[in-house]
A and B are shown apart, each in its own frame.
Chain A
Amino acid sequence: MNRYFIPLIVFIVLIAFFRIGLNYDPRLVPSPLIDKPVPVFTLPNLRDTATTMSSADLRGQAVLLNVWASWCVECRNEHPVLMEFSQNLKMPVYGLNYKDTREEAIQWLDHYGDPYVQSAFDQSGRVGIDFGVYGVPETFVLDRNGIIRYKHIGPITQKTMEDIILPLLNKLDHPAT
């Protein structure tokens, strides 16, 4: 084999990956976790080191799990939507604070307001990997049994909230109707 062929071969392999990659629209392709139970985790509570938050806390009613970080610019854009959701509609949102420092995260919540029932503190991002976190923010809709029903990548807009998430939550909370 001639060494001058190496660049060509490397390139052909790359092209093959790109071709397959094109079929995956990262915004649209559902997470492999859809319709699967939420990954099992136990993490320290962000505000209270003595307590923990675990996947079991998410059961019982349909909830949102929002992956956020104080360093994330887009999180600030979706923040008012989450505040509206939790404060005015009295819906439960749980937070997964991702690759952040405790101090900055708490400061962030104190400044902008805290929409979360509680936030789990995932400093290493280990649990984030189990959730397949691709970019922050991401939001998961879980049903009462802790099954992931929907995943949204990127900031939630008012429109996504009204058109997709709220109807879905409604359906999950009242399965009969």
Chain B
Amino acid sequence: MIPELGHFALIMALCMALVQAVFPLAGAARGNVAWMSLARPAARVQLVFLLITFSALVHAFIVNDFSVAYVARNSNTMLPLIYRISAVWGAHEGSLLLWILILGLWTFAVTVFSHHLPEQFVARVLGVMGLVSIGFLLFILLTSNPFIRDAFPPPDGADLNPLLQDLGLVIHPPMLYTGYVGFSVAFGFAIAALLGGKLDMAWARWSRPWTVMAWVFLTLGIALGSWWAYYELGWGGWWFWDPVENASFMPWLTGTALIHSLAATEKRGVFKNWTVLLAICAFSLSLLGTFLVRSGVLTSVHAFANDPARGVFILALLGVVIGGSLALYAWRAPGTFISSSYGLFSREMFLLVNSTLLTVAMGAVLLGTIYPLIIETLGGKVSVGAPYFNSVFIPLMVPLVIVLGCGAWARWKSDAWDRQWQHLRFAVFGSLIIGVLLAAMLDGAGALRTALGVALASWIILSTGILFYTRTRSGPDLLTTLKTHPRSFYGMCLAHVGFAITIIGLVITSNYSTDLHKRMKPGARAELAGYTFELTDIHTITGPNYDATEAAIRVWRGAKIVTELHTQKRIYRVRDMPMTEAGIRPGLTRDLYVSLGEPLGNGEWSVRLYYKPFVRWLWLGALFMACGGVLAVTDRRYRQIRLQATDPQSVIVAGATAKP
């Protein structure tokens, strides 16, 4: 009965989405206030129905209702409760339901935090989000209904894919989807502005906190995914340029370009057409990501739903949403063009270079991701791998980093080289010295690359530090001075430093990780990177839904025991799938990572040992970036909503704001 209730609530949600889309948009076009005012209640009621639907599916998983086909395919009575709940989004139907629920939550947030906006504008934003909601609800109801019953339910379920039975995977998809779907708000604002023909600075100001918030979730989601791959796939890799990773990375790159471009549009009214295009692109790439993952058009470990009918539907949806909005852009954007002037050496220019570089980088990733597909439709076969991405992507990041340091410093409108040079020369020399020293001290094939990477990261940290110091130095006392600067300024500094931290982690771990594949039996020792790994014991254990062999490995540094690691080789009983659980000793400057391979006979096992320096910095940097974004969003400018754009305070800090 409860699954039917869920199905019914889903249909009701669709009805509400129709109300939310049709009346407000029509009302906004005809100036009908009563119709426009339907937007908020419709969106809220839709959320209630979506919550009922989602709860119904969660309930089916918790009580092991295997008469529901989706539950039977993805759960099992032996599956621990937490994974029974996360199994809800472990496959196609449920993850779409999660997608639409998150869209409902974002829409609800817009209804709550939009009272300062013109009614007509809000009606349009909610109407556009309602249209997106209609598309996805139809998709679920027509092709991917999770509530379909099986007339002959199996006695037990087929279990959740063991790869997904992990805490990281419990939170990674919701986080990532929250980021993806969050761009729908920026999209809604952009379309509403295009429809209303008012692409102004107010629009940019309203969009900014929403865009940054979505970006924060996406940043965390991508970092979580990378971290999950690192410890769960059992061989210490953390980024594969896999199509699905690219699908999340492309909206991130565009979103990063967007938040920087929005800063220029909000403060100076420039790049409006470019900013609105980026807003459309960010959400389009989120949809494209959904399409790439869900349709199976590109093969990947992630593509657990390969069904051409669904692919055609998503493609049609994509065509309508993206094609429609780009057509609207082509039609309306030229009309809203107002030029304002800025010098060649100004913050505007640096921001423009920044968003262009990020967009080109996104284009390179997009090309690499879909190139195999294009070649295949033309009758060939080719695969594009990490070498392409690394050789295209990294050269684009170098100028980006250089521009970042100057851009955060530069004044709006026009600035002088010598003023910048006076402050930034310390950062220039500092980072050059660090680079040269590193290049001289380090050895190995990656020494130059590491030195370059760390020098670039130092450039960011030093220039941000000098900026911070100059800004906070003047004033009666430190605390008062610190308080006069808006949170968005600190957010920007934090996020930029986070970016630097990620770069450091990336170059060091890529160039100085070492590993050893070793044949070991209990008592055997192996040396790696100054550590001694001793296999002390191998025994079998029984988990709730798997059997495992566990190896205990003691790690010594000289005569001192550093840690004892446990790594398992698991066989999940229902799907008969082997999985490796790595044993990891995390540390700020290095991870020790072991994973158990195959039995080789005579009590010997193959064991893989890894030494991964600075690998934590990758995710630490992402955390900094996300915190920076949160700081920027909580800036009081966005809370004191009536504050004028000409407020002296906000002009002073102008460019410094919200630029993670």
Contacts and interface: CB of A to CB of B under 8 A. Distances in A.
B376 A24 contact: yes
A102 to B, nearest CB: 15
B603 interface: no
B296 interface: yes
B92 to A, nearest CB: 15
Given A11-B322, A108-B517, A112-B606, A4 B377 contact: no
Nearest to A29: B376
Contacts of B312: 19, 22
B329 A7 contact: yes
Interface in B596-610: 597-598, 600, 606
B318 A21 contact: no
B227 to A, nearest CB: 17
Interface stretch (A40-48, A55-63, A88-96, A128-136): A128-136
B578 A77 contact: yes
B308 A135 contact: no
A133 B315 contact: no
Contact of A8 (B296, B327, B377, B598): B327
Given A7-B277, A7-B330, A73-B233, A134 B381 contact: yes
Contacts of B379: 32
Interface string A126-152: 000100111100000000000000000
A18 B381 contact: no
Nearest to B235: A73
Contacts of A5: 330
Given A11-B326, A14-B370, A21 B383 contact: no
A112 B284 CA distance: 45
Given A11-B323, A22-B297, A134-B299, A4 B383 contact: no
Contacts, number: 102
Contacts of B298: 26
Interface string A1-33: 010110110011011011111111111000110
A18 B297 CA distance: 8
A87 interface: no
A15 B377 CA distance: 12
Nearest to B598: A112
Nearest to A99: B385
Given A2-B330, A4-B334, A25-B296, A18 B291 contact: yes
Contact-size category for B: 35 or more
Given A11-B323, A111-B598, A19 B333 contact: no
B178 to A, nearest CB: 25
Contacts of B334: 2, 4
B163 to A, nearest CB: 11
B356 to A, nearest CB: 15
Contact of B370 (A11, A17, A31, A107): A17
B597 A112 contact: yes
Contacts of B373: 17-18, 21
A1 to B, nearest CB: 10
A12 B327 CA distance: 11
B414 interface: no
A15 B324 CA distance: 13
B339 to A, nearest CB: 15
A116 B372 CA distance: 30
Given A77-B578, A111-B519, A25 B381 contact: no
B580 to A, nearest CB: 9
6 A-B pairs with least C-beta separation: A8-B326, A132-B381, A20-B377, A111-B606, A4-B330, A21-B373
17 contacts: A4-B330, A8-B330, A11-B284, A11-B323, A17-B370, A18-B315, A22-B295, A22-B312, A25-B308, A31-B381, A76-B598, A107-B517, A111-B517, A111-B606, A112-B600, A112-B606, A153-B299
